[in-house]
Amino acid sequence: MQHMSTGERLLRGVLITLALIFFLFPIFWILLMSFQTNADILRIPPSLFFTPTLDNYVALITGELKTASGVLKLAFMQNLFNSFILSTASVALSLVLAVPAAYAFARYKFRFSEDIAFTLLSFKFAPPLLVLLPLTIYFQQIGLANTYIGLIWVYQLITLPLILWIVRGYFEDISPDIEHAYRIAGHSWAKMFFRISIPLARPGIAAAALLSFIFAWNNFVFALVLASADKQPVTVGALAFVTASGIQYGQIAAAVVISIAPTLALALFAQRYLVEGLSLGAVKG
């Protein structure tokens, strides 16, 4: 640990505090909003003091939104369930496909390997709208429009390249000698892959899965175009709060709080893997 003067330590503290306020204030404000009525939210100037209400959450969970123009049906819980299904299944499928692929790209030099890997990454460069229109038509023709399978397939554009490229780096960091040692000890390639390579790349796989889960969860445009009401995730479902009688800020805030909760919990849980050392000091550098 470096020596720091009191001044430096103070400056450090101030800067960290500023950064924390900058990043955490919006979340804090959303949390407050979720317990306010629309009237409280729109009051000028805004106030930290209000009578907290659970109405927003109740409306979301019961699926009934009482507005000035009558009772609106909300599919928020269904949206949440859809988000969950779509993100989980997309990440799971991507892991099954991308982890072995990442290993191949990391370990074996085959013809066009770099080109293929780059092409897969380039899926992330292209604006989604570029592919959406033709995709919509194709999906309608082959009956994949508005299905979970169709959406999960398209979500691979988000999750697969991400997992592939992150995990590839982790595989490259594993000393090939460790794998060779296991082979020479008499184990097959498959055993080596599952008992040596995968466990040693686990921090990377966990990080990649977490990131791609968040990206999938936050996706808006694919689901907007390719899914109708009963398959929509929360991101699209939130549009329902823009009603004829105004924007329901309170419900939006509550919906945001509920929808970031799973990713936040996941991030906290996976933190252990994210910071865990990779090689654990078995190979002398």
Partner 1 sequence: MTTLELQNVTKRYGKETVLHGLDLAVADGETVAIFGPSGAGKTVLLRLIAGMAEPEEGEILMDGEDLIDVAPEDRSVGMAFQNFALFPHMSAFDNIAAPLDARRAKREAIADGVHAIARLLKIDHVLGHAPRALSNGQKQRTALARALVGAPKILLLDDPLRNVDAKLRFEMRLELPRLLEGFGSTVLYVTQDYREAMALGDRIAVLMDGRFIQVGTPEEIYLTPATVAVAELFGDPVINLFDARVEPSGGGSVAVVGSARLALSPGYANLYGTTVTLGIRPENVAPAGAGTAGAIAARVAALLPLNDRLVRLLVTDEGAEFYTSRDFGGETAGEGARVNVTAASQDVILFDKASRRRIAPEGEAAVIPAAPVGREHRAGRVSA
Q: Binding residues for partner 1, per CB under 8 A?
A: 175-178, 180-188, 191, 196, 199-200, 279-284
Cβ burial of 80 (10 Å; 0-12, 13-18, 19+) is buried
Nearer to partner 1, 123 or 273 (CB): 273
Q: At its nearest, how many Å lie between partner 1 and the CB of residue 278?
A: 9
Least distance to partner 1, CB of residue 182, Å: 6
Does the bond joining 45 to the residue before it have cis omega, within 30 degrees of 0? yes
Minimal distance, residue 102 CB to partner 1, in Å: 19
**Residues found in the chain:** 285
Gap between the Cα atoms of 273 and 129, Å rounded: 35
Comparing CB distances to partner 1, the nearer of 43 and 180 is: 180
Q: Which two tokens stand for residue 149?
A: 């399978």
Report the C-alpha gap between 42 and 249 in whole angstroms. 9
How far is the CA of 159 from the CAs of 98, 220, 232, 238, 263, in angstroms? 9, 14, 18, 23, 15
Half-sphere exposure of 242 (CA within 13 A, CB side): 5
Q: Residue 282 CB, nearest distance to partner 1 (Å)?
A: 3
Rank residues 28 and 194 by Cβ distance to partner 1 and give the closer one: 194
- Based on CB atoms, which residue is closest to partner 1, 188 or 271? 188
Q: How far is the CB of 202 from partner 1 (least distance, A)?
A: 9
Residue number, 64 or 173, with CB nearest to partner 1 = 173
